[in-house]
Structure 1
Amino acid sequence: MNRRSFVALGAASALVACARPEPAPIPSVAEAPPTRSLPAHYGAITDEPFPIAAIDPAALPPEHWRREVVNPWPDRPRGDIVVDPDRAVLHFVESRDRAMRYSCSVGAQGFDWEGTARLQFRREWPRWKVPETMIARQPELEPYSAANGGMDPGPGNPLGARALYLFRNGKDTLYRVHGDAVPEELGHAVSSGCIRMLNHDVIELYERAVHGASVTVLPSMRPKGMASVY
C-alpha cells in the first residue's frame, strides 16, 4: 500500500575547448542501504489449507516483529491477553516476568469497545458471518450474513487464518482477534475490523492461547470518531 518514489538526479557539465572532463564519482558501497532479513517465522507457510506467502522484509520493520518482552502486567495469570488500541500492540502473558508482544492494526470496533471479555473459542480458517449492523451500512455484504452461511474460509476472507472469539457474560461481543492484516497496516487504525494481526502472528498466538482466558482491551485515549473512517 506504500509506494516508493525515486528521483533521478542528473548532472550537467559545461565543456570548453581542449578541456578534460572530470571523471564521474564512483558510488560508495558503504552508502548502499543495508539488506534486512526477517526472522524465519515470517517466511512462507506451506502446510496450511491455504498457502501464506512470505512477508517482504522491506515491508516489516523490526519494531513490528513479534518478540518476547518484559511482562507489563506481572499480576495477570498466564494466558491473559491485553490489547492497547492506541499503541496497536497485543501482549500475551507468558509468566509473571515475560510476555509475547505482537503488533496489530485496530479497526473502529477495536476503539469503540473496551473492557474484559472471555476467550470463548478459537477457529482455524474461520467463516466470516457479517453482523447485521455491518450489513445495514454495507448492504452488498448480505450474501455473507449468518442467515446465508457466511463467507467461505480462504484468501479474501477478512478473518484470515485464525480467529479468537470474545464473549462477555456468555454472550458473543462480536469482537474478534483475527488474521489477514498486511504489514503496512500494523500500528495504524484501519477502516473496519476489530484487532487484526499478520496471519503469521495470529497462527502463533492461536497455539499459545488459553481457553477461557481474559482478553482486555484498554480504553482508548483518542477522541470518539477519530479512530478510523468508514
Structure 2
Amino acid sequence: MTLPSHIKTHTGNVTGRLLLLGVLPLFLAACNTTKPATTAGATVAAPVTAPVTPVEAPKPKEEPKTADLSSYEKMYAAVNDNGKVIPAIDISKVEKRNLRQEVNYKTSHPVGTVIVDPYKRYLYLVMPNNRAMRYAVGVGKAGLAFSGTADIARKASWPRWTPTQNMIKRSPEHYAKYAGGLEGGVSNPLGARALYLHRNGQDTLYRIHGTNQPWSIGKAASSGCIRLFNQDILDLHKRVPAGSKVVVLNQQESGKGEF
C-alpha cells in the first residue's frame, strides 16, 4: 500500500532523528577521554576537561668532538724529568697538524725506522700494518742540507750543546758566549733529548733533538737540525733504541708515504 506523501515525509524525519540520536553518542565518545556520566538512565557525554600536555621535541644528540683535546692536554702537560721541569705546551695555540698522532703510512722501510720529511716538516716512526707515529718538527738550514740514510749512534738525555764555528761566525752576538758549550737544561737549545746520527761510522753532525723554542715547531727555523717539542722527543727517545735506522727524504721523495 502506498502511503500519502505527508506521512512519508513525517516518517523520514523521525527515522533521520532516530539515526542521529543513535550515532551522536558514538561520535562524542570517540572524542571523550573521561568516563561518561549517567543521568536518569540516559548516558550523557561528559565535557572534555583534561588539559593537553605539550610534548617536548627530543634534544638533538651531541656530535662527538673531532679531537679529544683533553688527551692532548695530558700528552703535552708539564713534565718533571729528574728535577728538570719541562713547561706544558698550550695546545690552544698549536695547529692540530702539529700534535703527535698515529697516521696511515706506507713505506718499504721496516718497522722501527725513523723517516724524516723535512719539506713537510714531519718525522715518522714506522709501525706495523702501514701505520706510523707522526711528530711535527722544526727544520733549520742544516736539516735541509742532509738526506739519505744514517744510524742513531748515540742517545743523550739533557745533552750539552756547543754552537758550530759557522753559527758563531754568522751570529757572534748570539753564539760566541757559548763557544765553550752550554750544559744541558731547560734553556739549552737541544732540549730534553738528542739523537746523534752517524753514517759509515762517521758523525754527520746531524741531530734530532728537543727545543727550548716550542713556537718553532712546524716552521722553518733559522738554526738547528730537526727539532721536536720536548714532550715529543721524550716519547720518540723511549721508542727507538740506539742503532735504529734513520731515513731523511729529499724533495722528490717528500709527501709520498702518508695516505
Q: Please, what TM-score do these two structures have when normalized by structure 2?
A: 0.65
Which residue identity does 1:130 align to in structure 2? P
Deviations 1:114-138 (A, max 9, x none): 1111111110000002222322323
Deviations 1:104-154 (A, max 9, x none): 110110112111111111100000022223223233534534xx3x21111
CA contact (8 A) 1:161 1:179 kept: yes
CA contact (8 A) 2:123 2:135 kept: yes
Partner of 2:126: 93
Partner of 2:159: 126
The yes-or-no answer on 1:199 pairing with 2:199 is no
Which of the residues 68, 73, 78 maps onto 2:102? 68
Q: Which 5+ residue runs of structure 2 have no aligned equivalent? A: 1-67, 253-259
CA contact (8 A) 1:71 1:95 kept: no
Which of the residues 151, 172, 178 maps onto 1:144? 178
| Separation in 2, partners of 1:181, 1:78 | 30
Which of the residues 98, 120, 135 maps onto 2:168? 135
- Relative to total residues, which structure has the larger helix share, 1 or 2? 2
Task: Evaluate the alpha carbon distance shift between residue 154 and residue 181 of structure 1 in structure 2; reply closer, same or farther with a 3 A threshold.
Answer: closer
CA contact (8 A) 1:181 1:197 kept: no
| Separation in 1, partners of 2:122, 2:213 | 15
Q: How does 1:38-53 map to 2 (within 5 A)?
A: 38-53=72-87
Structure 1 stretch displaced more, 136-145 or 84-93: 136-145
| Separation in 2, partners of 1:189, 1:170 | 29
The yes-or-no answer on 1:166 pairing with 2:197 is yes
Which residue identity does 1:102 align to in structure 2? Y
Which residue identity does 1:187 align to in structure 2? G
Partner of 2:216: 185
Structure 1 stretch displaced more, 53-62 or 86-95: 53-62
| Separation in 2, partners of 1:119, 1:68 | 22
CA contact (8 A) 2:190 2:210 kept: yes
CA contact (8 A) 1:77 1:96 kept: no
Structure 1 stretch displaced more, 36-45 or 101-110: 36-45
Q: How does 1:71-86 map to 2 (within 5 A)?
A: 71-73=105-107, 75-86=108-119
| Separation in 2, partners of 1:47, 1:39 | 18
Which residue identity does 1:99 align to in structure 2? A
Q: Residue 119 of structure 1 aligns to a residue in which SS?
A: strand
CA contact (8 A) 2:187 2:212 kept: no
| Separation in 2, partners of 1:113, 1:64 | 22
Indicate the percent of aligned positions where both proteins have the same amino acid.
43
Which of the residues 48, 55, 63 maps onto 2:89? 55
Report which structure shows greater RCO (CA 8 Å, sep ≥6).
1
| Separation in 1, partners of 2:237, 2:163 | 22
Which residue identity does 1:84 align to in structure 2? D
Which residue identity does 1:42 align to in structure 2? Y
| Separation in 2, partners of 1:138, 1:172 | 24
Report the number of matched residues: 184
Structure possessing the higher radius of gyration over alpha carbons: 2
C-alpha RMSD of the superposition: 2.1
Q: Residue 173 of structure 1 aligns to a residue in which SS?
A: strand
| Separation in 1, partners of 2:194, 2:213 | 16
TM-aligned CA deviation for residue 36 of structure 1:
5.0
Q: Please, what TM-score do these two structures have when normalized by structure 1?
A: 0.73
Partner of 2:24: none
The yes-or-no answer on 1:212 pairing with 2:212 is no
